[in-house]
A and B are shown apart, each in its own frame.
Chain A
Amino acid sequence: MSDKHDPSLSEGSDAGEEQANVAAPPAETGTGTDGADAAPAGTHGPTHREQDRPSVLHQILSGSALMSVLAIVLALFIGGLLIAFADQETRDASGYFFSRPTDTLAAGWSAMWDAYVAMFRGSVFDWQAASFAAMIKPLTESLVFAVPLILAGLGIAVGFRAGLFNIGAQGQIIVGAIVAAWLGFAFDLPPVIHLLVAILGGAIGGAVYGGIPGLLKARFGANEVIVTIMLNYIAVYLISYMLKQPAFNPGRTGQRSPAVAPEATYPLLVPDWLVPGNTFRLHWGFVVAILATLFVWWLLERSTIGFELRAAGANPAAARTAGMSVGRVILVTMLIAGALSGLAATAQVLGTERSLTAGVAASYGFDAITVALLGRSRPWGTFFAGLLFGALKAGGFLMQSLTATPIDIVLVVQSIIVLLIAAPPLVRAVFRLPSPGSRSRRQSRSTTKEVTA
């Protein structure tokens, strides 16, 4: 988190958190002292500079890692309250709340506890299962759900770092899935090559679809938020149109394409000799996700294009003055973001589902936005956020079947986490933590923003 030392670059992209931190005490009245900070808020970054570190304890208490943990805890608690509220026994008991309040609390607590225990068993470790393989299967299921989230989340994170709001991961996943699935079932190629071709096709499909808003923004200044939202809907109709075409639906069997050829599917990751008798669905897409995370880290932190990308995100005017072509950066960023979403699609069609359906993208594209936000647009942050949300998703299914708690609660928890992460002062206020404001930082930030305000 605080490992970066290029203040000039981190300023813009960190504005969201930093300014929120600074504005914490007077924020309620809307009279923050820091007028220069009116930059578009968004992604997050180092909260501390080397020169002004008060104390280790203070740093831990106000650091963003702790904020993330507290936000998750708080969100789970609020979700728990909702579960308790929806529980029939709790509501029955609340009818006589004032005569015996403990009944209500006990019923509510047990509803909440049962749900979260089921969620844990469904996502990490199931101690009631018969064999070791079955016990750790939930963990692999979490990873299966995490793979597309991580990949698409990385795509969105790259966009955020360049100051682009790529809401279009959903559409990019769909188009990537169409291409990857088509390459997967319509051709007959040697084993490894077929898989690589399908993966590459999916990535290119996503990249092209992501490049459209990039091109329109670079060339015509079209707002990428609107364009990507529209492209999402177009993609939904596109996939439903494609699935009606003879090439995708030869038997007219319904809303499912032919199965992807076995040569074009990701091999399973956990071999039988390692965990005997396993039925894990976890495939090599997970390795792709790790490699993609490494690639994005390299891209953002070590490469020239990544430098330009962050510069354009932090301050496009300055980047332009420094001789960078901001339009080109926007286009390249969206191409990369789309390609990553396309990879997420390959994890679905070549790994988990192995054919194309209308719901192949599920809601991964939208969930990925929250993943990138929780990960603060950092590659590894996004990776772990993807793991967490994958676990919530996997656990949600068992919770739904065991305790009849609808999986929608996962959406609630996810969105509360992101809301809280985006507003650290709120979390601090709830847990009564110190705020990390310090004068030297405030002064160092009053740069170019006045003009835009």
Chain B
Amino acid sequence: MSTPVTPAPAQPAPAAQTAPGATRPRVGWKTPIVYGLAALVTLLLFVPGTPAGEQTTFQFGSGTEFFTIPDVPVPALITIVLLTVIMAAAAVWAVLLVRQRRHAPAWLHVVVGVAFVLAFLTYAGAGRTSVIPMVSLLAGALALSVPLVFGAMSGVICERSGIINIAIEGQLLFGAFAAAVVASAVGTGYAGLVAAPIAGGIVGAMLAWFAVSYRVNQIIVGVVLNTLIIGLTGFLFATVLADNKEMWNTRMPLPRLPIPLLSEIPVVGPVLFNQTILVYLMYALIFGLQFMLFRSRWGLRTRAVGEHPKAADTVGIKVNVRRVWNTILGGAIAGLGGAFFTVGSGLAFGREMSAGQGYIALAAMILGKWNPYGAVAAALLFGFSKNLGNVLSTIGSGVPSEILLMLPYVITIFAVAGFVGRVRPPAAEGVPYTKS
């Protein structure tokens, strides 16, 4: 029901394609339609569903800030009506923009997205004694997004060079496994951060080996590698790890490293800047990858190899060498992300603990149109909707949590089918390259 709405914030604004003075090309009607639907859903579902006079309480504090923001009780119905008006106004404005053949600005997507989510939260929390814990909602969303972001970055690196990396799932899982085992054996979580990328890199190397050397279909190799890693880690978990749990599978959490000052900003601080080193590495990776991919020689060559390997080969880029190294690098990054499942969240290794996150990371990458920033936005969206499902099922709202949990997947299908902008993969993706 709210399906078409939530992708809006995830979608980076398309670059302005028009020179001033030139006739502008037509702009699609998707944006105003999606905005209008958001307003309509709010009007038809949330407004009648909220009894007048009830309050929703938002909690913004977590106790570690400069000053504590008190809980904010808001009159539910009025808030929802107000938010509906905002969304309707945005829709009207978007209609006007389309008629002038202009694109809606990126911040408008964010405004509508936030308004819709707030309206939903207000509706869900109206008249209940429990508060809506904003900090834990956002922090949990970020935590659920971390492996997705790492996995999506891995996917970007591999697919931009023309290798489809379905094995993200296996890389995450093997990274989680290696991180847990090595950290437990050495006695510090940081050792896991060394082992995880190596493990992920091994899976990446196997993918590259079969995909490049033997030119086996990359999707097949990826799917089979995932099965192999699930079987292998499950087997070792039930034998070696179970035999000597203290030695091989003790919880070794990474310590939280709050950044001075930044971590004390209300809401933002506890969510973003009171994290383990793994999350800070993720921030660096996101910005670093976006820069490297579009501003460095490595990035140019990677993209060339993925878009037109023959041309790249002609100018002397070693296509297959580049692909192999990128796949190994991608595997290592996904492996590092896998460390979040174990040392990053302070858990011991468990059977199949990546639970399909690798496939969702793949979806995030596609939804993000093979761009690091876009992929991160999509991963955050997935993490948020999943956490929203979890939080709401504990608060107890009228919406079945299964429906919420389905949302990311439904959105992805819509995205892949072309409803959320055009999705175009790298041209040579999945095609083995051989010199003729």
Contacts and interface: CB of A to CB of B under 8 A. Distances in A.
B215 A41 contact: yes
Interface stretch (B85-93, B277-285, B326-334, B408-416): B408-416
Contact of A452 (B213, B235, B431): B431
B82 interface: no
Interface string B402-420: 1101100110110011100
A233 interface: yes
Interface centre among B212, B231, B356 (most CB of A within 10 A): B231
A415 B214 contact: no
Interface string B342-382: 00000000000000100110110010000000000000000
Nearest to B416: A222
A406 B235 contact: yes
A126 interface: no
B412 A19 contact: no
A189 B243 CA distance: 53
A74 interface: no
Contact of A237 (B216, B239, B405): B405
A30 B217 contact: no
A240 B402 contact: yes
Contacts of B270: none
A237 B214 contact: no
B400 A30 contact: no
Contacts of A233: 356, 359-360, 406, 409
A24 to B, nearest CB: 9
A231 B102 CA distance: 35
Contacts of B243: 88
A323 B418 CA distance: 27
B30 interface: no
Interface in A11-54: 16, 19-20, 23, 27-28, 30-38, 40-42
B152 to A, nearest CB: 13
A229 interface: yes
Contacts of B225: 415, 419
Nearest to A219: B417
Interface stretch (A269-277, A301-309, A366-374): A366-374
Contacts of A87: 239
A294 interface: no
Contacts of B238: 406, 408
B240 interface: yes
A240 B234 CA distance: 25
A186 B435 CA distance: 61
Interface string B61-80: 00000000000000000000
Contact of A241 (B321, B403, B418): B403
Contacts of A447: none
B198 to A, nearest CB: 19
Contact of A231 (B215, B356, B413): B413
Interface centre among B221, B309, B432, B435 (most CB of A within 10 A): B432
Interface stretch (A98-106, A252-260, A343-351, A420-428): A420-428
A226 interface: yes
B236 A86 contact: yes
Interface centre among A20, A41, A234 (most CB of B within 10 A): A41
A408 B403 contact: no
Contacts of B360: 233
A418 interface: yes
B217 A16 contact: yes
Contacts of B186: none
B406 A237 contact: yes
A238 interface: yes
A220 interface: yes
B210 A423 contact: yes
Given A167-B223, A409-B231, A423 B410 contact: no
A216 to B, nearest CB: 5
Interface string B193-235: 0000000000000000010111111011101110110111011
B205 to A, nearest CB: 14
A30 B325 CA distance: 13
B215 A418 contact: no
B220 A28 contact: no
A275 B432 CA distance: 54
B217 A453 contact: no
A237 B402 contact: yes
A136 to B, nearest CB: 28
A33 B436 CA distance: 6
B214 A453 contact: no
Contacts of A288: none
Given A226-B412, A419-B228, A86 B431 contact: no
B320 interface: yes
Contact of A32 (B217, B310, B434): B434
Interface of B: 166, 210, 212-217, 219-221, 223-225, 227-228, 230-232, 234-240, 243, 309-310, 320-321, 356, 359-360, 362-363, 366, 400, 402-403, 405-406, 409-410, 412-413, 416-418, 425, 428, 430-436
Given A422-B214, A425-B214, 12 more contacts: A16-B217, A35-B434, A38-B434, A41-B215, A227-B417, A230-B412, A233-B360, A238-B402, A408-B230, A408-B238, A419-B225, A423-B214
